[in-house]
Amino acid sequence: MTYWNKEIETMDPESLRKLQSEKLVKLINYVYDRSPFYRKRFEEAGIKPEDIRSIDDLTKLPFTFKKDLRDTYPTGMFCVPPKDVVRIHASSGTTGKPTVVGYTENDLDCWSESLARAMTSAGLNGDDIIQVSYGYGLFTGGLGAHYGSEKIGATTVPAGTGNSERQIMLMQDLGVTGICCTPSYFSHLIEVAANMGVDFRKDTKLRVGLFGAEPWSEELRKHIEERSGIKAYDIFGTSELSGPLFTDCEKQNGIHIWGDMFIVEVVDPKTGKQVPDGEKGELVVTTLTKEALPLIRYRVGDLTSMTHETCACGRTHPRILRLTGRTDDMTIVRGINVFPGQVEAVLLATPGVTPNFRILIDRVHELDTMTVQVELNEENFSEKMSDLFSLKSEIERKLQSILNLSAKVEFVEIGTIPRYEGKAKRIIDNRKLWMTEKDQSLSLKPDFRKSFNIIRMYIRYHCRIMSDAWLPLTGKSGSPVKAGLNARLSQFINQI
């Protein structure tokens, strides 16, 4: 078995706990001295730094939430002066403002160290050629994987996202052996390669993939492995914790969380109480080495379970099992976090539509697609198709800029989107984390829906003309005749 840092990765659990205790005590003093946010939080909870003497006192500490980062936007929770921040990343937030994360030089080193251990545990090494097909930029995927790959001494190919045929060409021509991207994108690459007549087994040297940034399943892992002949590993992290940080090892039996850098807990999302190993709950993480943006008992929002058992690979650090969902309304499309609030903000700022909407997520030819159904405002309903098209493009443009993701807009009849008395269900996720061949044949569904809506709008348009033509004949504007006619038409439209 090969390790990046054998001494740390296989240290005995008792010594690891001791190390965590020492680091936790230091951390609490650090944030208390440097962060007005944490000082206030601790005071509200009646906690003084001297109350935290070991990891046994962890549960005395209050939780931190994504909302705290938003409320202190952009850098209110940073614990170092701006001159010590050497890098900024960000992930999307509910309101259009991103969640900003900062790194000192040491933070970047720890991030790469974490990934170097992870990549090594997934069988990668300095002889590998690793293609990084995560997005580069504010998203942490590209640069995170890039630095990890360089740290282990691999040759790094910063391909970024998109242009699938070129991705495959690069893989072949450069002799790429490892790839980092979302699992849905790699499934798409398998299809593209097949269409190009490229067989991953015969025509490339690819042997390892690190797939994450979005939920996926064991079935998809099997599918990828069978179709491409590579070993597929699960890579996890969040921008608040740095970015991609952890993977499963060659035993593929849970994601190793480096205990000398992070303390993990799994809690009941309702009560906040820790749940026993093996029981599902929300992931909570305390960062032990981060300087710019340390997080204490951070509620990550992902659902998982954990185990403290030593892995068959010999690593002693805790493992979390496959992440199965989230506690909040965030959803992930092509690796990008999407909150319904972002869409709502766009619609509220756009005249001509109502704030009622529904986000439909599908998986077509292995790639996620996002369609936003929007109700046209009755008063602003335009009879000119050209106006509707420009309104549609305007909303699509705004969505692209706020979400950093292309979404299609579909106009629907007023009253079509269900109204909810409680929490509105804005997202209809038609993706299956894994689709069978039969499911895939149903992937025409979004096209059907689109045609259906065009037909509806067309009928409505003509019904309106009929209605307006009829009115002068009856001569009773706003009369029961018109109301009756409109009711009949609506009933008719709703039935089709």
User: Footprint of ligand DLL on this chain (CB under 6 A)?
Assistant: 91, 134, 140-141, 212-215, 234-239, 243-244, 300-302, 323, 326, 332, 337
Q: Which is nearer to ligand DLL, 91 or 114 (CB)?
A: 91
| Strand extents, DSSP E, 239-366 | 243-247, 255-256, 262-267, 281-287, 298-304, 306-307, 319-320, 325-326, 331-333, 336-338, 353-364
**Amino acid residing at 134:** Y
Q: Which is nearer to ligand DLL, 281 or 446 (CB)?
A: 281
Q: Which is nearer to ligand DLL, 55 or 179 (CB)?
A: 179
Q: Tell me the closest approach of the beta carbon of residue 298 to ligand DLL, in angstroms.
A: 11
Cα(161)–Cα(216) distance, integer angstroms: 19
Q: Tell me the closest approach of the beta carbon of residue 302 to ligand DLL, in angstroms.
A: 5
Phi/psi region, residue 368 (left: phi>0; alpha: psi -120 to 50; beta: rest), is beta
Q: Tell me the closest approach of the beta carbon of residue 471 to ligand DLL, in angstroms.
A: 54
Q: How many CB atoms are closer than 10 A to CB 173? A: 9
**Dihedral (C-alpha) 296, 301, 302, 307: value to the nearest 10 degrees?**
40
Q: Tell me the closest approach of the beta carbon of residue 404 to ligand DLL, in angstroms.
A: 10
Q: Which is nearer to ligand DLL, 91 or 161 (CB)?
A: 91
Q: Which is nearer to ligand DLL, 35 or 337 (CB)?
A: 337
Q: Which is nearer to ligand DLL, 32 or 236 (CB)?
A: 236
Q: Tell me the closest approach of the beta carbon of residue 309 to ligand DLL, in angstroms.
A: 21
Q: Which is nearer to ligand DLL, 160 or 243 (CB)?
A: 243
Q: Tell me the closest approach of the beta carbon of residue 215 to ligand DLL, in angstroms.
A: 4
Q: Which DSSP state fits 83?
A: G
Q: Which is nearer to ligand DLL, 107 or 234 (CB)?
A: 234
Q: Is the peptide bond before 276 cis (omega within 30 degrees of 0)?
A: no
For ligand DLL, which residue has the nearest CB? 212
Q: Tell me the closest approach of the beta carbon of residue 382 to ligand DLL, in angstroms.
A: 38
Burial of 288 (0-12, 13-18, 19+ CB in 10 A): buried
Q: Which is nearer to ligand DLL, 21 or 239 (CB)?
A: 239
**Amino acid residing at 405:** L
Q: Tell me the closest approach of the beta carbon of residue 244 to ligand DLL, in angstroms.
A: 4
Q: Tell me the closest approach of the beta carbon of residue 56 to ligand DLL, in angstroms.
A: 28
Pairing type for strands 208-212 and 231-238 reads parallel
The 10 Å CB-count burial string (b at 16+, else e) for 363-376 is: bbebbbbbbbbbbb
Cα(104)–Cα(80) distance, integer angstroms: 8
Q: Which DSSP state fits 239?
A: G
- Can you spell out the DSSP letters for 337-383? EE-HHHHHHHHHTSTTEEEEEEEEEEEETTEEEEEEEEEEPTTT--S
Q: Which is nearer to ligand DLL, 198 or 300 (CB)?
A: 300
Q: Nearest CA to 79 among 37, 42, 113? A: 37
Token pair recorded at residue 289: 């080495």
Q: Tell me the closest approach of the beta carbon of residue 425 to ligand DLL, in angstroms.
A: 19
Token pair recorded at residue 99: 């969640």
Task: Judge whether 26 and 34 are in contact, CB under 8 Å.
Answer: no
Q: Which DSSP state fits 419?
A: P
